[in-house]
């Protein structure tokens, strides 16, 4: 696989490449330990089965079609002895132990591939179930002052064909190497042979500042392009990824074709692993548009929150015309209530004087006045409630007389009041003036009323007093007008 990593200086391209090499080094360490312990069991099992002859010879096929040929390789007795060595290798260089550390051989991956082919033959011919050994790849790079123990320098003239199979190459500033530069004349055989790099397990990572700096042959062969754009000098970059190299990755059309867009934070633990000329010269800056956006966001979120918080107190009644009109109407109603109270006070004074002259008549008139006032208030409340519930009349269209249906609303002339209590089949309940049961009435109050009928609540809405008063007046007038008849002698 050929990858292209592009970024301007300070965007973290060497940092990301080092992170990739670090992950590969850790995988190699894990696979080295696995292969060491697995090799002990594998060779011991092979000896017990008396199948060691499979390790002496191997049949390898080459070519295609009718020209496909088979080649026999004779292996030395110690060909796989490198698996019997335990490689105690650190991932990161340590000056205190580097002089006693032995790196694994560069041919490790190539010979492991042959051993896995032998295992396939064993499983087919001898019906065994051996597992494959895990790959351990050689790493070649030119990243400055890299402190990863497993990494090796690039071969002479960057001829990757001279290295063992399965090697991984990370070529930093690829445009500075003549054969990989876009300014190179013609196509070097080393570059041309990149078309068959996958046949032997090679992988390449070309690192450059601008894709157009690299040879067009490499750009056409790359199957993964990663481009980094630093975000205002902060330790993070926007990472764009494509499956095809973009000659102008910062162009709008290239960004629109981006297959994966993420924000990549710089891993600070990678800084000590290599030498970077921009590690301490980056200048952080904050864009003005971002500050304006944050201020506007705070403003538009704070104002609604404040209005919701003080909505019950209504600190700004002038913001709503409806609230202002309601306040004005309330003030007018308060003035009218004061005037009505003053007029009621004058009426009460006249009533007191009249009651002094005719106590009985004044008492009756006062009770009638109170009853009429309560009745009037109740009726007016019912009428106002009824009027507020009256739906709007539909408009009459002369061209559609059949569609007009007037809305009728009955006028409320009475309201429900308590009338009495009834005991029926061991249960007591209250009824209204038409004999309908009143739900929710206290049963204890009903029993109290049935036991003591004189403790009946006063009826504030009935008209009994008025009829009784009129009856008394008629009887009095009759007694005054009737005079004893006398006969003259």
For the stretch 65-80, pLDDT in tens is: 777 888 888 999 899 9
The pLDDT value recorded for residue 3 is 95
Q: Are 213 and 181 in contact (CB under 8 A)?
A: yes
| Distance of alpha carbon 229 from alpha carbon 270, whole angstroms | 19
Instruction: Identify which of 27, 155, 39, 152 has the alpha carbon closest to the alpha carbon of residue 91.
Output: 27
Q: Taking the model in full, what pTM does it have?
A: 0.58
| Distance of alpha carbon 19 from alpha carbon 41, whole angstroms | 34
Give the right CATH number for 2-273 from 1.20.1050.10, 3.90.650.10, 3.40.50.720, 3.40.50.300.
3.40.50.300
Q: Report the Cα–Cα distance between both ends of the chain, in Å, rounded.
A: 155
Is residue 206 helix, strand or coil? strand
Q: Are 231 and 219 in contact (CB under 8 A)?
A: no
Using alpha carbons, list the distances in angstroms from residue 477 to 362, 366, 474, 483.
Answer: 18, 21, 5, 12
The pLDDT value recorded for residue 399 is 62
The pLDDT value recorded for residue 51 is 92
Q: Are 130 and 119 in contact (CB under 8 A)?
A: yes
401, pLDDT greater than 80: no
Name the pLDDT band for 202 (thresholds 50, 70, 90).
very high
Sheet containing 139-141, strands listed edge to edge, beginning at the edge strand earlier in sequence: 151-152, 139-141, 168-171, 203-208, 2-7, 224-230, 236-242, 260-265
332, pLDDT greater than 90: no
Name the pLDDT band for 478 (thresholds 50, 70, 90).
very low
The DSSP secondary structure of 25-77, one letter per residue, reads HHHHHHHHHHHHHHHHHHHHHHHHTT-GGGGTEEEEEESSGGG-EEEEEEPPT
The pLDDT value recorded for residue 417 is 86
Cα angle at 230 between 229 and 236, to 5 degrees? Answer: 115
| Distance of alpha carbon 459 from alpha carbon 438, whole angstroms | 16
| Distance of alpha carbon 272 from alpha carbon 268, whole angstroms | 8
260, pLDDT greater than 90: yes
Q: Are 2 and 206 in contact (CB under 8 A)?
A: yes
Q: How many CB atoms lie within 10 A of CB 6?
A: 26
Q: What are 39-69's pLDDT values in tens digits?
A: 999 999 999 999 999 999 888 887 777 778 8
Q: Are 462 and 433 in contact (CB under 8 A)?
A: no
Q: What are 136-172's pLDDT values in tens digits?
A: 999 999 998 899 989 999 999 899 999 999 999 999 9
127 in the Ramachandran plot: left (φ > 0), alpha (ψ -120 to 50) or beta?
left
The pLDDT value recorded for residue 12 is 86
Q: For residue 404, what are its two tokens?
A: 């007009």
Q: Which residues contact 360 (CB under 8 A, 6 or more apart)?
A: none
Report for 11-15, 305-309, 331-335: range of highest mean pLDDT: 11-15
The pLDDT value recorded for residue 442 is 86
The dihedral through the CA atoms of 82, 83, 87, 89 has a sign that is positive
Q: What is the mean pLDDT of the chain?
A: 78
The pLDDT value recorded for residue 354 is 45
Higher pLDDT, 205 or 365: 205
| Distance of alpha carbon 115 from alpha carbon 108, whole angstroms | 11
364, pLDDT greater than 50: no
197: number of CA atoms within 13 Å, CB side?
A: 26
The pLDDT value recorded for residue 26 is 94
Name the pLDDT band for 208 (thresholds 50, 70, 90).
very high
Name the pLDDT band for 360 (thresholds 50, 70, 90).
very low
The pLDDT value recorded for residue 318 is 44
469, pLDDT greater than 50: no
Q: What is the mean pLDDT of residues 348-353?
A: 46
Provide the β-strand partners of residue 420: 431
Q: What is the mean pLDDT of residues 431-453?
A: 86
The pLDDT value recorded for residue 464 is 58
């Amino acid at each position: 696989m050929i990858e292209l990593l592009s970024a301007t200086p300070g965007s973290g391209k060497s940092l990301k490449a080092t992170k990739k090499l670090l992950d590969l080094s850790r995988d190699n360490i894990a696979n080295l330990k696995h292969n060491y312990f697995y090799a002990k069991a594998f060779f011991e099992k092979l000896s017990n089965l008396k199948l060691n002859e499979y390790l002496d010879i191997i049949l390898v096929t080459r070519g295609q079609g009718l020209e496909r040929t088979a080649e026999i390789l004779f292996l030395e007795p110690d060909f796989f002895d490198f698996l019997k060595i335990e490689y105690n290798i650190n991932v990161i260089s340590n000056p205190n132990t580097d002089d006693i550390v032995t790196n694994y051989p560069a041919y490790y991956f190539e010979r492991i591939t042959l051993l896995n082919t032998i295992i396939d033959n064993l499983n087919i011919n001898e019906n065994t179930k051996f597992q494959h050994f895990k790959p351990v790849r050689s790493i070649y790079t030119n990243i400055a002052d890299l402190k990863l123990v497993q990494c090796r320098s690039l071969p002479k003239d960057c001829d990757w064909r001279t290295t063992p199979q399965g090697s991984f190459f990370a070529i930093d500033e690829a445009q500075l190497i003549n054969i990989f530069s876009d300014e190179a004349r013609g196509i070097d055989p080393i570059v041309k042979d990149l078309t068959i790099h996958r046949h032997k397990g090679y992988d390449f990572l070309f690192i450059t500042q601008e894709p157009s700096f690299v040879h067009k042959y490499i750009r056409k062969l790359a199957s993964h392009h990663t481009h980094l754009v630093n975000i205002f000098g902060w330790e993070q970059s926007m990472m764009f990824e494509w499956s095809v190299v973009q000659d102008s990755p910062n162009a709008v059309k290239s960004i629109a074709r981006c297959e994966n867009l993420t924000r990549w934070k710089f891993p600070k633990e990678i800084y000590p692993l290599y030498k970077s000329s921009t590690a301490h010269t980056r200048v952080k800056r904050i864009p003005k548009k971002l500050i304006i956006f944050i201020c506007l966001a705070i403003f538009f979120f704070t104002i609604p929150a404040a209005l919701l918080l003080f909505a019950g107190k209504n600190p700004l009644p002038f913001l709503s015309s409806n609230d202002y009109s309601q306040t004005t109407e309330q003030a007018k109603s308060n003035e009218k209530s004061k005037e009505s109270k003053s007029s009621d006070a004058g009426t009460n004074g006249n009533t007191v004087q009249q009651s002094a002259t005719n106590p009985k008549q004044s008492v009756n008139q006062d009770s009638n006045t109170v009853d009429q006032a309560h009745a009037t208030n109740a009726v007016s409340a019912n009428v106002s409630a009824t009027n507020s519930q009256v739906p709007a009349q539909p408009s009459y269209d002369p061209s559609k007389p059949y569609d007009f249906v007037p809305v009728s609303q009955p006028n409320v002339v009475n309201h429900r009041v308590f009338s009495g209590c009834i005991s029926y089949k061991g249960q007591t309940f209250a009824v209204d003036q038409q004999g309908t049961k009143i739900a929710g009435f206290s049963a204890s109050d009903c029993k109290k009323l049935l036991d003591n009928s004189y403790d009946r609540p006063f009826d504030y809405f009935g008209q009994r007093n008025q009829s009784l008063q009129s009856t008394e007046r008629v009887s009095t007038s009759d007694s005054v007008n009737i005079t004893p008849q006398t006969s003259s002698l």
